[in-house]
Amino acid sequence: MSDQPVRIALSIGDPAGIGAEIIAHLLADPATHASAHITLISNHAALARGAAAAGVPVPQASDWLDIPDWAGSDAVFAPGVISEASGRFMLDSLRLAVRMVQEGRADAVCFGPLNKSALRAGGMKEEDEMRWFARLLEHRGVCGELNVLDPLWTARVTSHIPLKDVSAHLSPQAVADAIGMLTAALRASGNDAPRIGVCGLNPHNGDHGNYGSEEADIIQPGMALAQSRGFASTGPFPADTIFLRAGAGELDGIVTMYHDQGQIATKLLGFEVGVTVEGGLPIPVTTPAHGTAYDIVGKGKASATAMAHAFDLACRMARSKQTATVRAA
């Protein structure tokens, strides 16, 4: 293992949201100082406002923290307001963070919550930031959002599409890809032998075809395809019991068939602590799973727990990547 500290490019995310507040809280924690060398991509006014709300000192550059001046440093944003300018700020800050990793100046990207409406107003054409990152990185392989509620990780075969279209978007290839992506991400986080469970689509797993046949026609062949690629899994299990298996410690990761099949369960289990990993990308990218919380901006009510978890996971994934590079040398 390398003795070099990991380097994290950390963006505040939406300057109109709670990102600056929860990141100021994160940076005030002495444990953060010892975890990594951080480059904070921020905005002066938003950071000062966030630190005041968090009740902590405004972060200052030091031997473990760089705060570079850049094009977005001096802009002014109204708290809790969606704007084209805040969307451009978010996209530009993320471009800078990604470029730092590409140029070898950082090992991972971590960012505060984003607002999709502002991102679109600011120029994002993709359906979400996951696809935006993939285009920016010229990544044409499998990718998708992974939701992390340590120690449980979830992936999904389909994501931001209407529920009526889910079945038509399922295929053995897509199921196998999701299993492989989740397995690879868990390995990158330090779990060498993750136990992956796969969720069925229909009530009671289709009840032997009485309520649908996707389990037999699509999901099981997809699991077999993943197995042939070296990615083992178990299931499919009914959607209303698979998270009970995870809660009993039987699974490290779950592949669901559509967005809310996993999101409802994970947010009930830990809305304020969950993390999103932009899975499948060639660089580690993490963020809190919650949103920008415009309604509590500046009120000192924002929880920094998920931000701390996202930062910790970015450090772990960066360390794993660093170790793999050393071993390969």
DSSP 75-143: ----TT---HHHHHHHHHHHHHHHHHHHTTS-SEEEE----HHHHHHTT--SSSHHHHHHHHTT--S--
pTM beyond 0.85, yes or no: yes
Confidence at 324, pLDDT banded by 50, 70, 90: low
Q: Which residue has the tokens 């705060």?
A: 67
pLDDT (0 to 100) of residue 2? 52
Cα separation of 261 and 300, whole Å? 32
Task: Tell me the two tokens of residue 190.
Answer: 């330090």
Percentage of the chain beyond pLDDT 90 is: 87
The half-sphere exposure of 93 on its side-chain side, counting CA atoms within 13 A, is: 33
DSSP state of 212: B
pLDDT (0 to 100) of residue 321? 79
Ordered structural domains, the chain, with CATH: 1-139+281-329 (3.40.718.10), 141-279 (3.40.718.10)
* Residue 140: pLDDT over 60: yes
* Residue 135: pLDDT over 50: yes
pLDDT (0 to 100) of residue 1? 45
Between the two ends of the chain, the Cα-to-Cα distance in Å is 12
Closest CA to 149 of 253, 232, 233, 248: 253
Long-range contacts formed by 204-207: CB under 8 A, 24+ apart:
204/238, 205/236, 205/237, 205/238
Range with lowest mean pLDDT among 31-40, 111-120, 271-280, 311-320: 271-280
Q: Residues near 195 by Cβ (< 8 Å), separated by ≥ 6?
A: 234, 250, 251, 252, 253
